Chains A and B, each alone.
Chain A
Amino acid sequence: MSMIKCEINGLPVSVPAGTTILDAAKGVGVTIPKLCYHNDLDAWAACGICVVKVEGSPKMLRACATAVGPGMKVVTHDPEVVEVRRTVLELILSTHPNDCLQCGRSGNCELQDLSADFGIRDIPFEKRAPEIPRDTSTPSIVLNPEKCVKCGRCVLVCQEMQNVYALEFIGRGDGTRLAPAADVTLEESPCIKCGQCSAHCPVGAIYEKDDTKAVWDSIKAEDKHVVVQIAPAVRVAIGEAFGYEPGEILTGKTYTALRRLGFDAIFDTNWAADLTIIEEGSEFVKRFAGDGPLPLITSCCPSWTDYMEKFAPDFIDNFSSAKSPQEMLGVMSKTYYAEKAGIDPATITMVSVMPCTSKKYEITRSDEMFASGYQDIDYSITTRELARMIKQAGIDFPALPDSECDSILGQYTGAGTIFGVTGGVMEAALRSAYYLITKEDLEQVEFEAVRGMEGVKTAEIDVKGTKVRIAVAHQMGNVQAVIDQVREARKKGEELPYHFIEVMACRGGCIGGGGQPHGATDEIRALRTRGIYTDDEKSKLRCSHHNPEIKRVYDEYLGEPLGQKAHELLHTAYTERPLYKK
């Protein structure tokens, strides 16, 4: 790669060709303010706060969208530049409502931070904050266009990264607002509820639907037995809300915090991930042996199943009918656990803590989510909401001792924990499928080929002479290529390119979920991912079929994997849906 030499504020810089002024400056310890730019996205260069002076250029240039050139001399900070930036900020603030104190992003807002850094005290422009109603139609996220600074991130995320095109800029100039097209609510639009728009929004214009009040009410209600579960990706990210480095594994402290919040039983979604693997792994082995359509496609990501039902309904038969871990734990709590513990399932409130906004949608997505005779999961809250609850309760998270989760739906293997990252479900399934096919355990359980941030990862796995072709895709927009490949082969009647496909809607998998602490970049995703793999490496048991609590649940309650009882409780179905509801 060719290197470019240039100068930033008199400091010599040498960076690879194509590096932006913004990134080059970061390398020499200079922070140029930004608002519309996000590392995951192409520069949209909408806001103008990142302007810098470049020697020989008559006008100031936008550092986020300008690559450094050889010999370029850049000045990032002088009184004139700072004044321009201040004016940009004042103009943005003049159209922004002032109710920061009631805003979900207060204390964690990129606009607030800029305003604080620039020491803005009053605005010399006429205040013209628009009045646009909120869109609260989905169970997952809320659009509050009044707070929108028109940075363009959500539209780029929804269109370019996720390929959903639910959101678009409607109108132009001053009247521009972000919204679904064609006068529909978000719920009636193609939106798949991934929440990636909310994760990327710099301000409080898109945020998770807050269900914490309902959870507090259940905890307070005397006659409720409130059960909680935490998803794999929560444990490696929740610390970020309390000053830890991303990726720090905080399972034990999180259990303790949940207990102190007043939950009556603490379970772990990782246990249910092991259960999902037994069902889905068995399903794969069955289909691979010729009984049922291939490729088998994973279905534990509800944004992905929603996408498929809308954009690729010709793949419905390929979906694993196994429910997601969240749902499996819900139904097992209100049946098996209720029975064993002698609790009336009608009095159980089941709460899940997920990295995900889509899980709020999943809990009522179809009749099968009521398999226990009740709504299997009552409330699904995000990592961000749990962090808020912990703070509200005055719990000093870092000072907490570790504790264990409760038996009988808690113990997990390393295979369960890696569900939180892209490739993890595939890897966990392969560990058990290998055993189911060969009746032998793998010597080495790691499958490097499915790990990492490549958008689509493919491999051919050797199962004692039999070749299993697999593909793993993450970040919704990347799945299209895989779908097209399979369609093409089908059309031509050729050999299928893959037997088994894993898809997760979010970049990096659930560790990068739409409900995780704000500010995820690839660096942060890498740290969270490392945390997940470390949790796996530290586990004594690394394969779902070794989990004694899973073995017990089949012995005592479920019978055979894919058996009748398992089918009633642990499987679901899919149906074609139109992109627009009206």
Chain B
Amino acid sequence: MTTIAGKEKMLTPEIEAFIEKWKGKPGNLIMVLHRVQEEFGYVPRDAAFEVAEALGIPVAKIYGVITFYHFFKLSKPGRNQIAVCMGTACYLNGGQDLIDECERILGVGLNTVTEDGEFSIEAVRCIGCCGLAPVLTLNGEVFGKVNTKQMRRIIQQFEGK
């Protein structure tokens, strides 16, 4: 049985050893995917197929898990990651406007990466700073009470850095 024809190997020997160690243990799939994402910053498609083969799990099940948990990413994030909070408080205070503005400035949509690989935008759930709504993070740094006018300046701070 061949899952997919003619592909080069993607998983590193370390990840393969990790899979060997976890094979057959409960919860192994999440652990392995976690490890893969740690390595690549996301779960590349070819890696998902190799994990399927190594664990003897159907590819469909792997994607079921990856797409169920917000944590897992299926595409390579930008070098700078913008995460706009869409929790209730931020949503009510204009979270969507921030996303729209980001999309306008960067010229790409949600969950996509700019052509130069510099920025990506994603929507996340409440990050626990509701008092500062609307909130976004850029590479983990929190920006609160953001309005759309400030967006460009915030982004510029990270450009080329």
The reply to whether A166 and B5 form a contact with Cβ atoms under 8 Å apart is no
Query: Is the CB of A171 closer than 8 A to any CB of chain B?
Result: yes
Interface flags for A307-335 (1: CB within 8 Å of B; 0: not) read 00011110000000000000000000000
B1 with A312: CB separation less than 8 A: yes
Picked from B1, B2, B63, the residue with its CB within 8 Å of the CB of A181 is B63
Q: What chain A residues lie within 8 Å of B64 (beta carbons)?
A: 168-170, 181
B4 touching A165, Cβ below 8 Å:
no
Task: Name the residue among A166, A183, A580 with the largest chain B CB count within 10 angstroms.
Answer: A580
Chain B 56-77, CB-CB to A under 8 Å as 1, else 0, gives 0011111110011000000000
Closest-by-CB residue of B relative to A166 is B60
> Considering the complex, which residues of chain A in the window 166-185 have a beta carbon less than 8 Å from any beta carbon of chain B?
166-172, 180-183
CA–CA, A312 and B45, complex, Å: 24
Within the assembled complex, what's the spacing in Å between the Cα atoms of A348 and B67? 49
| A172 x B2 contact (CB < 8 A) | no
Contacts of A172 in B (CB 8 A): 67-68
Q: Which residue of the partner chain, among B1, B61, B67, B68, contacts A310 with CB atoms under 8 Å?
A: B1
Docked pose: A159 CA to B60 CA in angstroms: 9
Which of B1, B60, B61, B63 has the most CB atoms of chain A within a 10 A radius of its CB?
B60
**Total count of chain B residues near the partner, CB < 8 A:** 17
Taking the nearest CB of chain B, how far is it from the CB of A292, in angstroms? 24
Nearest A residue to B6 by beta-carbon distance? A578
Cα distance A581–B59 in the bound complex, in angstroms: 13
Interface pair B1/A311, CB less than 8 Å apart: yes
The yes or no answer to A491 lying at the interface (CB within 8 A) is: no
What residues on A are CB-neighbors of B4 within 8 Å?
A: 578-582
Known: A170-B67, A171-B68, A172-B67. A165 touches B60 (CB 8 A): yes
Residue B32 at the chain A interface, CB threshold 8 Å:
no
Q: Is the CB of A183 within 8 A of B45?
A: yes
Highest count of chain B CB atoms <10 Å: which of A168, A172, A181, A311? A181
Q: Give the chain A neighbours of B5 by CB distance below 8 A.
A: 578
B3 at the interface (CB under 8 A from A): yes
Given A170-B67, A183-B45, A580-B49, decide whether A165 and B1 contact each other with a Cβ distance below 8 A.
no
Chain B residue contacts of A183, Cβ below 8 A: 45
Nearest B residue to A310 via CB reads B1
Q: Does A560 contact B (CB under 8 A)?
A: no
Q: Is there contact, CB below 8 Å, between B60 and A576? A: no
Chain B, interface SS category? helix
Question: Which residue of A has the minimal Cβ distance to B46?
Answer: A182
In the complex, which residues of chain B have a beta carbon less than 8 angstroms from the beta carbon of A182? Answer: 45, 48-49, 59, 63
In A154-207, the 8 Å CB interface with B consists of: 159, 165-172, 180-183, 190
B53 to A, closest residue via Cβ: A579
B 60-101 contacts with A by CB, 8 A: 60-64, 67-68
Is the CB–CB distance between A167 and B60 below 8 Å? yes
Q: Is the CB of A170 within 8 A of B2?
A: no
Q: What are the interface flags for A545-581 relative to B under an 8 Å C-beta threshold, 1 for contact and 0 otherwise?
A: 0000000000000000000000000000000101111
A578 and B2 contacting across the interface, CB-CB below 8 Å: yes
CB of B1 within 8 A of CB of A579, answer yes
Q: How far is the CB of A178 from chain B (nearest CB, A)?
A: 11
B68 contacts across to A, CB distance below 8 A: 171-172
CA distance A581 to B3 in the complex (A): 9
How many Å lie between the Cα of A582 and that of B1 in the bound state? 15
- Contact present for B61 and A165 (CB under 8 Å): yes
Least distance between A304 CB and chain B CB atoms (Å) = 15
Question: Which residue from chain A places its CB closest to the CB of B62 in the assembled complex?
Answer: A181
**Which chain A residues border B1 with CB–CB below 8 Å?**
310-313, 579
Least CB distance from A580 to B in Å reads 5
Chain B residues with Cβ below 8 Å from A170 are: 63-64, 67
- Determine the residue in chain A with the shortest Cβ distance to B68: A172
Report B-chain residues with C-beta under 8 Å of the C-beta of A313.
1
What's the nearest-Cβ distance from chain B to residue A224, in Å? Answer: 40
For the complex, give the distance between the alpha carbons of A180 and B58 in Å.
Answer: 11
Residues of B within 8 A of A580 (CB): 3-4, 49, 59
Complex alpha-carbon distance, A171 and B3, angstroms: 22
What's the nearest-Cβ distance from chain B to residue A365, in Å? Answer: 18
A327 to chain B, nearest CB (A): 26
Q: State the CA gap A361–B70 with chains docked (Å).
A: 37
Within 8 A of A (CB), among B12-61: 45, 48-49, 58-61
CB distance from A156 to the nearest CB of B (A): 12
Report whether B60 and A181 are in contact in the complex, using a CB–CB cutoff of 8 Å.
Answer: yes
* Contact residues in B for A181 (Cβ distance below 8 Å): 59-60, 62-64
Instruction: Give Cα A167 to B64, complex, Å.
Output: 10
CA distance A313 to B64 in the complex (A): 27
Q: Which residues of B contact A578 (CB under 8 A)?
A: 2-5
Q: Within the complex, what minimum Cβ distance (angstroms) separates A163 from chain B? A: 9
CA distance A576 to B4 in the complex (A): 12
Closest Cβ–Cβ distance, residue B109 to chain A (whole Å): 15
Shortest Cβ distance from A188 into B: residue: B4
Q: Judge whether B67 and A579 touch: CB under 8 Å.
A: no
Query: In the complex, A172 Cα to B65 Cα: how many Å?
Result: 10
Measured CB to CB, the nearest residue on chain B to A311 is B1
Q: Check A171/B2 contact, CB under 8 A, given A159-B58, A165-B59, A181-B62.
A: no
Chain A residue nearest to B63 in the complex (CB): A181
Given A310-B1, A313-B1, A579–B59 Cβ distance below 8 Å?
yes
- Within 8 Å by CB of A579, from B2, B61, B62, lies B2
Q: In the complex the two chains form, is A576's CB within 8 Å of B2's CB?
A: yes
A313 to B2 CA separation, bound complex (whole angstroms) = 9
CB distance from A578 to the nearest CB of B (A): 4
A181 to B3, CA, bound (A): 12
Instruction: Give min CB distance, B58 to chain A, whole Å.
Output: 3
Kindly list chain A residues whose C-beta atoms are within 8 Å of the C-beta of B2: 576, 578-579
- Report chain A residues within 8 Å CB of B62: 181
Within 8 A of A (CB), among B120-138: none
Nearest-CB residue, chain A, relative to B65: A168
Q: Contact at A168–B61, with CB atoms within 8 Å?
A: yes
Bound together, the chains give a CA A169 to CA B62 distance in angstroms of 11
How far, in Å, is B123 (CB) from chain A's closest CB? 12
Given contact pairs A576-B2, A579-B4, A581-B4, enumerate 19 new A-B contacts (beta carbons under 8 Å): A165-B58, A165-B60, A166-B60, A167-B60, A168-B64, A169-B64, A170-B67, A171-B67, A171-B68, A172-B68, A181-B60, A181-B62, A181-B64, A311-B1, A312-B1, A578-B5, A579-B59, A580-B3, A582-B4
17 contacts between A and B (CB under 8 A): A159-B58, A165-B61, A166-B60, A168-B64, A169-B64, A171-B68, A172-B67, A172-B68, A182-B59, A182-B63, A190-B58, A578-B5, A579-B4, A579-B59, A580-B49, A580-B59, A581-B4
Closest 4 CB pairs of A and B: A181-B63, A165-B58, A168-B60, A165-B60
